[in-house]
Amino acid sequence: MTIKGIKDFELIRSLSLDTLNKMFNKPEQTVERVRTVANEALKRLPNASDSGLFLSFYDSVVKLDQEFFARNKTHPFADLIQRMSAQLPPEIKAKIRKEQRFREKLASLDLNSPDFNRDMQELKSLLTDLSKLGMLSPNETKNYENCFRSIQNRFKTGVMESRANEIVSKMSPAFKKGLDNAHTLIRGIDTELTSQMVRSLKECSEHPLSEMAAAIEKKHSNLLQHGVQRRVECAISQIVPQNNTFNKTFIQNFLRLVPILDTFHTTARPLFEDRWAKTLEVLQTQTEVPLDPLFTHYPNLSKEEFIPELCAMAELKYTRGLTLDVLCSPALFEEYFKRTNHALSEKLGALYDANYKKHMLDPHAWFTSYADSIKKPYSQAADIHLNLEDGTCFQNSLDRLSLLLKTPNLKAENIRMGSTQEGRATQARVKYTYSNAKVGLISIEKATELQAKSCERLGLTLSGETPACTTPKELIKFLSPKKDFLGILTLASPEGAHAIDVQIDHKRKIFRFIDDNTGIVEMDNYESFVTGFKTYLESLYPEFLAFKFETFNRA
């Protein structure tokens, strides 16, 4: 006879405590029946033909024991569970140990303990193990993770709540002051919410894992919502008397605003990312160079910079018409979001397209068409260790020019990008000189002269220059299909200036430019270089108004 044949085995394995209590008339009878069946199963285990069934029975007993504990704080099957677990295979025992450890850690969690952070780390690691062992579903795991994250962050103001605070603060300086004045009280609320969450975890640490996951998810989302309400009430209480007619409406609408913003961002971001992915797919069909890794070199061409900026811009448009009048009236609030949410996807799509065309289209088209000409990608903006706040392009260009004057045929891989210590120091002095000129301590001419002299640190002197051209088309007429050229292109816009090395060496077939915002770009021939360089300047620096070549000699 196998354990399958034990009377009541299947019932206990499949029914809930309530049903069993009804079936066996009272809880004491249920306990007795379970103990009898378990003892029988234990007796037969060495010959049991189906240990999976035994395990399932073991799980049922553990669950019943937890349900008993949840109701009357007793563990009627504690000894049985211990005896049954001793009979289980090692891998099952390991699972049980993990679960026990997880429960113990939850039950002993102490916010004031010096080991709190270590305990949270261990809990997170145990959670990962339980999830990998299939003891928790992905959703349940996420519930625990969210709860743990809130505890570790001490229930601080959430991202969307902060956005709502910022939006309302712009409308009402009084609200901003209320938030600032309530700072200490708000920290107190955060601590209280954290304590409540930890208490709930401890209280349900004996429940089945799935039940616990559902319970903490409910408690967690209640506390999050409660937190938003308490914090906004606290800020409002700093500026107006309690129970004012308007504060109730305002608070209610503020509470609605937070999830509305959340929904807005969870709509906008994926929509933008999807559009970006589709564009990248089109671009990738045009070149064999993998574009995603190429674009990661350039923050200004990557989605990591473009999409958050677009999200912020979209949010600004979405909330532009939101006023205190709207926030203080349920009807206006309703109407406002009905209007703004109308055809939202189309509006977001149009916003994306308009900004993509304005900021990304030309650079993306150029980088894709000339991807295989970029021999060494580089961006000073991404080079946080070797860059100064406003860049060091002119000094870097001088450093590279000095190198190329000595060794014109240097291969791209041997040309160092980034700034040198001397270059950074010189640039800092130049910046300081210009700051003195701005406040009238020296003349602007003197500052410009000092900048021009910065080439002397490399033993170079300015030997020639073109007049300032207003367009790249005009500028490239100073390059020749017959004459060599090695110099620096300086370009200026109302916002700033930039410098790029240019080298044309017909005999050695070197046609390249070196830009601290792009890297080293080499073309196969003069014609390709001239058109490529012209469109590069037009695509990447459309706002620049003056272009000038400068050449240098060794002193």
If the CB atoms of residues 221 and 244 are measured against other proteins, the closer one turns out to be: 244
* 133's tokens: 């062992």
User: CA 467: distance to chain centroid?
Assistant: 47
What is the distance between the alpha carbons of residues 339 and 358, in angstroms, rounded to a whole number? 27
Residues 6+ apart with CB under 8 A from 406: none
Taking alpha carbons only, the member of 308, 309, 310, 306 closest to residue 280 is 306
Q: Are strands 546-554 and 519-523 parallel, antiparallel or unpaired?
A: unpaired
Residues 116-175 that bind other proteins (CB under 8 A): 170-175
Task: List the one residue from 478, 486, 492, 546 that touches other proteins (CB under 8 A).
Answer: 478
Compute the least distance from the CB of residue 368 to other proteins, in Å: 6
Q: Which is nearer to other proteins, 102 or 298 (CB)?
A: 298
Q: How far is the CB of 401 from other proteins (least distance, A)?
A: 15
Nearer to other proteins, 84 or 167 (CB): 167
* 361 binds other proteins, rule: CB under 8 A: yes
Interface with other proteins (CB under 8 A), residue from 87, 267, 296, 466: 466
CB of residue 234 to other proteins, shortest distance in Å: 14
Element (H, E) at 83: helix 78-86
Nearer to other proteins, 380 or 451 (CB): 451
Dihedral-angle region of residue 243 (phi above 0 means left; psi in -120 to 50 means alpha; beta otherwise): left
CB of 248 to other proteins, least distance (A): 11
Closest CA to 460 of 514, 398, 511: 398
If DSSP codes are grouped into helix, strand and coil, which group holds residue 525? Answer: coil
DSSP assignment string, 189-235: HHHHHHHHHHHHHHHTTTS-HHHHHHHHHHHHHHHHHHHHHHHHHHH
- The count of chain residues that interact with other proteins, using the rule CB under 8 A, is 90
Select 47 or 243, whichever has its Cβ closest to other proteins.
243
Shortest Å, Cβ 432 to other proteins: 21
Given the rule CB under 8 A, which of 6-14, 136-144, 255-263, 331-339 is the region that contacts other proteins?
Answer: 331-339
Q: Please select the residue that binds other proteins; options are 278, 438, 446, 509, rule is CB under 8 A.
A: 278
Query: For residues 26 and 119, what is the distance between their CA atoms, to the nearest angstrom?
Result: 41
What is the smallest separation between the CB atom of 92 and other proteins, expressed in angstroms? 56
Q: Does 537 bind other proteins (CB under 8 A)?
A: no
Residue whose CB is less far from other proteins, 68 or 250: 250
Which of 203, 362, 422, 505 touches other proteins by CB under 8 A?
A: 362
Backbone angles phi, psi at 292, to 5 degrees: -60, -50
Of 7, 149, 317, 508, which one interacts with other proteins (CB under 8 A)?
317
Interacting residue with other proteins among 342, 385, 406, 507 (CB under 8 A): 342
x-marked contacts with other proteins along 483-512 as a string, rule CB under 8 A: x-----------------------------
Site for other proteins (CB under 8 A): which residue of 7, 357, 416, 438? 357
Candidates 57, 264, 318, 511: give the one binding other proteins (CB under 8 A): 318
**Per CB under 8 A, 373 contacts other proteins:** yes
Interaction between residue 471 and other proteins (CB under 8 A) = no
Within 27-56, the residues that bind other proteins by CB under 8 A are: none
What minimum distance in Å lies between the beta carbon of 452 and other proteins? 8
Residue type, 169: S
Phi-psi region of 461 (alpha: psi -120 to 50; beta: other; left: phi over 0): beta
Interaction residues for other proteins, span 238-257 (CB under 8 A): 238-240, 244-247, 250
- Grouping H, G, I as helix, E, B as strand and the rest as coil, residue 517 is coil
**Interface pick for other proteins out of 111, 133, 307, 332 (rule CB under 8 A):** 332
Backbone torsions φ then ψ of 525, nearest 5 degrees: -145, 170
Contact flag: residue 179 with other proteins (CB under 8 A): no
Q: Judge whether 74 and 68 are in contact, CB under 8 Å.
A: yes
Q: Are the beta carbons of 504 and 484 closer than 8 angstroms?
A: yes
Distance of CA 289 to the CA centre of its chain: 27
Least Å from the CB of residue 103 to other proteins: 49
* Residue 88 in contact with other proteins, rule: CB under 8 A: no
Give the range of 55-63, 149-157, 183-191, 329-337 binding other proteins by CB under 8 A.
329-337
| Least spacing, CB of residue 108 vs other proteins, in Å | 45
Q: Is 60 exposed, middle or buried (0-12, 13-18, 19+ CB in 10 A)?
A: buried
Identify the three-state secondary structure at position 372.
helix
Quote the CA–CA distance of 114 and 470 in Å, as a whole number. Answer: 66
Among 458, 479, 491, 537, binds other proteins (CB under 8 A): 479
Amino acid at 51: S
Helix/strand/coil for 84: helix
Distance (Å) of CA 268 to CA 167, 275, 356: 18, 11, 15
What's CA 517's distance to the chain center, in Å?
Answer: 24
Interface with other proteins in residues 402-461 (CB under 8 A): 452-453, 461
